[in-house]
Amino acid sequence: MSYLFPTYKRWEVEPAHAKGSYITGVDGKVYLDFTSGIGVCNLGHCHPEVEQAVVEQLKKFWHVSNLFPQSIQEKAAKLLVEASGLDLVFFANSGAEANEAAIKLARKATGRSKVISFTNSFHGRTFGSMAATGQDKIKQGFGPMLETFTHLPFNDTESLLQEIGKDTAAVILEVIQGEGGIHAADVDFLANIQKACKETGALVIIDEIQTGVGRTGKPFAFQHFNLKPDIITVAKGLGSGFPIGAVIGKGNLQDAFGPGSHGSTFGGNPMAVSAAIATMELIFEGAFLNESASMGEYLFEQITTKLGELDGVKEVRGLGLMLGIEISANIAEVLSTLRSKGLIALPAGENVIRLLPPLNITKAEVDQAVDLLEKTLSHITSATV
């Protein structure tokens, strides 16, 4: 019997330890991990430089509160600002909390309350971020949602132009919807969002919680497009497994988040922040992202060549090392078969295998994963669903 609320349907693999791209189960079986803890351990498990940074901080102090100036917070914020081109950072503990803060910031800065988000989006499980989320299954049973949010069809400019107005505080979106099934926004749609927000005074909030910190081959996914967001939210991969979230905003929003306006006891916790600094120094500097982007292209190419023609594979899509394979078979069964063969992957949307390997994955590991995918998917057919 379990003493935990059964909010997660758990897999049969219990990890004993994990290193790099591999997890070893308590039974000694070794698995190639193409989930990175759901887009979190982007440097692989237990990266030695992140470990060293956290251990060093562990020996100095663990927590003092945000009433004290903390130069490591400033250092982490500077790295985020330099990588994003925005100006100011608020640290939270998770993605949902970062989105809550972003929504509060946009409402306070504009003095407006309406927020537009999109169908199939995922923004978190707190009351505000759940209400922002465009998937009914996430909200079922929790009663009336906040009226602040309107959900429009993703990639539909016409409905956006009909809805957005002088009462819109913000438009919030993922440029590549992760949980929703690896769906990218159209370039034109993004340009139209930017233009409509400029005309109406609404803010553009880009949720980079899954796509950020290098996942798509650039520091942030919005940088693939001609976008100038007012606010971005980050979490997951920022701390390599230590819980941290962040809101990064333009300097002109400063007054809306003055002393006492928003806060978090643990936000910017020294352990998480030291992990974030080490993570960003490794990912944002040198050739890391170029190599990671090339590996993403290699993975995409291998999947399309070796799996693209299989009967049960409908589509391969994504960017960088955030890829989805839409299949015509029961996703839970396929993922279970993959695990039995030694590859751990994620579901997304309806029938999508989501691959979020570490950003420093090697070619040999990619080849191993593609081989296991091929062995599994060659047995399914379009009639298997």
Ligand X SMILES: Cc1ncc(COP(=O)(O)O)c(C=O)c1O
Name the binding residues for N(2)-acetyl-L-ornithine. Answer: 125, 264
Least distance between ligand X and beta carbon 231 (Å): 13
* Residue 87 near residue 146 (C-beta atoms within 8 A): no
The residue nearest ligand X at its CB is 95
Cβ atoms of 160 and 196 closer than 8 Å: yes
Q: Residue 236, by phi and psi: left (phi above 0), alpha (psi -120 to 50) or beta? A: left
> Least distance in Å: CB of 154 to ligand X?
13
**How many Å apart are CA 155 and CA 118, to the nearest integer?**
9
Between 97 and 230, name the residue whose CB sits nearer to ligand X.
97
**Residue 5 CB, nearest distance to ligand X (Å)?**
16
Binding residues for pyridoxal 5'-phosphate: 95-96, 122, 207-210, 265
Q: Which is nearer to ligand X, 238 or 329 (CB)?
A: 238
Pick the closer one to ligand X by CB: 21 or 210.
210
346 strand-pairing partners: 354
CB nearer ligand X, residue 123 or residue 339: 123
Smallest distance from the beta carbon of 341 to ligand X, in angstroms?
26
Q: Is the dihedral of CA 206, 210, 214, 218 positive or negative?
A: negative
- Sorted by sequence, the CB contacts under 8 Å of residue 217 that are 6+ apart come out as 224, 289, 292, 293, 296, 319, 320, 321
Binding site, residues? Answer: 95-96, 122, 125, 207-210, 264-265
In the complex, which residues of this chain contact ligand X (CB under 6 A)?
94-96, 99, 122-124, 174, 178-179, 207, 209-210, 235
Distance in Å, CB of 124 to ligand X, minimum: 4
Q: Is the dihedral of CA 181, 90, 255, 263 positive or negative?
A: positive
Identify whether the C-beta of residue 271 lies closer than 8 Å to the C-beta of residue 200.
Answer: no
Per DSSP, 121 falls in state -
CB of 1 to ligand X, least distance (A): 26
| Amino acid at position 44, single letter | G
Place of tokens 């400019």: 157
Give 217 or 312: the residue with its C-beta nearer to ligand X.
217
Return the bridge partners of 188, or none.
none
Q: Decide if 167 contacts 114 (C-beta within 8 A).
A: yes
In the complex with ligand X, the residue whose CB is nearer, 204 or 372, is 204
Q: What is the CA radius of gyration of the chain?
A: 21
